[in-house]
Amino acid sequence: MTIKRIGVSLTVGLILACVWFYPKMQALYLTIHLFDEDRIVESFRSATAIWPAMRLEKSNQPYRYTVDLSGSLPSNFSYDDQDYATQAFLKDSWTTGFLVIQDDVIVSEDYFLGNTQTTQNISWSMAKSFISALIGIAVDKGQITSIEQAVDLYAPQLVGSGYEGVRIKDALQMSSGIAFNEDYGDFYSDINRWGRDFALGNSQDAFAAGLNRGVKPGTKNHYVSIDTHVLSMVLNRATGQRITEYMQENLYDAAGMEHEGYWIADGANAEMALGGLNLTLRDFAKIGSMYLHNGALNGQQIVPKAWVADSITPDGPHVQPGPDFGYGYQWWIPPGNEGEFMAMGVYNQYVYVNRETNTVIAKLSANPYYNDTTYTPSSDWVHLALFRSIAHQAGRR
């Protein structure tokens, strides 16, 4: 081969390498800077422009809430003997959408920072509660025999990993025993290492199979987002369908979702089950309305009633609410006796349900100070105080 031909071959190889690597490097760069103050709001409503996406089609029989905006939010609320002005708190927590549903009627709805009623926003960990619902549906259909079974029975690539022998129930309750650092403020944490791996298009299945055990499964509630990805692996193999397809057929259509939705995905087209669901605010709220009504919505029983009850009832000492939130099947359980439960995502995403007052509240945010533990508007506990104040006022209407 002549020098000229060698040069041409190297040039062509370099061009092909650049074409192949550039999208990955761009996605990695955008992922690393996703939460920068000047980017975060747009990033959260543009996830499908950053990563591959799997589309959910809007329902042919949409469920539309009745709207009566005669309700008003309390002007102030209190937490730990400190008063907060509601509107200032919403602004300071970088709220992009806020919705209050009382007795199945929208009584308050506001959008901020450029979001609108049709904006599809990323869920972060609120997606986990949707995955739990899909697991419950698969159990009811007999596609998953029992949540007492080990996850590696359905996902054999987990044999030899820290997940071998972990029950599906343990993963549902964030009690897998996997050693994992979920600190989003630590660049070198396991969750941020996973995020960079995801941005490069690498397999989430392989990442899960590379994790090790820290403690005995089923004994300690330790938040490991990869537990939810493992649940998606179980669901994929039990049903023979991708998360998007299974959700479309068994939940999205039935719940009457009004707009298209999206799951972002890795390079193997596996959905980011642990946080990659993109919906409008009203469509996010429907998971709360569904669970408020024991799994029924839009005239249909969508999630089995028994599964809903089990999902929001901590049944072991390690998942009970106390100084911290308790945990069900991918739902957070606040302390108290009002029948409350919450889907929560980082950077202050929430679906709050209060069964005593018949209230559902959904909040989307893009708070760049979320990882600053001294910044009060980042606190889940202060948000809970706000939600309770609204629910108690709305429930007295």
Beta carbons of 71 and 397 less than 8 angstroms apart: yes
The pLDDT of residue 275: 98
Q: Is residue 336 part of a domain?
A: yes
Q: Is residue 346 part of a domain?
A: yes
The pLDDT of residue 70: 84
- Over residues 246-260, the mean pLDDT reads 98
* Same domain, residue pair 19 and 72: no
pLDDT tens per residue across span 180-190: 999 988 999 99
Please name every residue paired with 296 in a beta bridge, in sequence order, or none if there are none: 301
The pLDDT of residue 63: 97
Q: Is residue 53 part of a domain?
A: yes
Q: Within 13 Å of residue 130, how many CA atoms lie on the same side as its CB?
A: 34
Return the structure tokens found at 127: 């997606």
Domain count along the chain: 2
Mean pLDDT across the chain, nearest whole number?
A: 93
What is the spatial distance between Cα 115 and Cα 213, in angstroms, rounded to a whole number? 41
**Residue partners of 146: CB distance under 8 A and separation at least 6:** 139, 168
The pLDDT of residue 131: 98
* Same domain, residue pair 270 and 390: yes
- The answer, yes or no, to whether residue 250 has pLDDT greater than 60, is yes
Residue type, 275: G
Q: Is residue 374 part of a domain?
A: yes
Domain assignment of residue 11, given as a range: 1-32
Q: Is residue 332 part of a domain?
A: yes
Beta carbons of 384 and 341 less than 8 angstroms apart: no
The model's pTM is 0.93
* Same domain, residue pair 4 and 124: no
* Same domain, residue pair 144 and 26: no
pLDDT tens per residue across span 220-240: 999 999 999 999 999 999 999
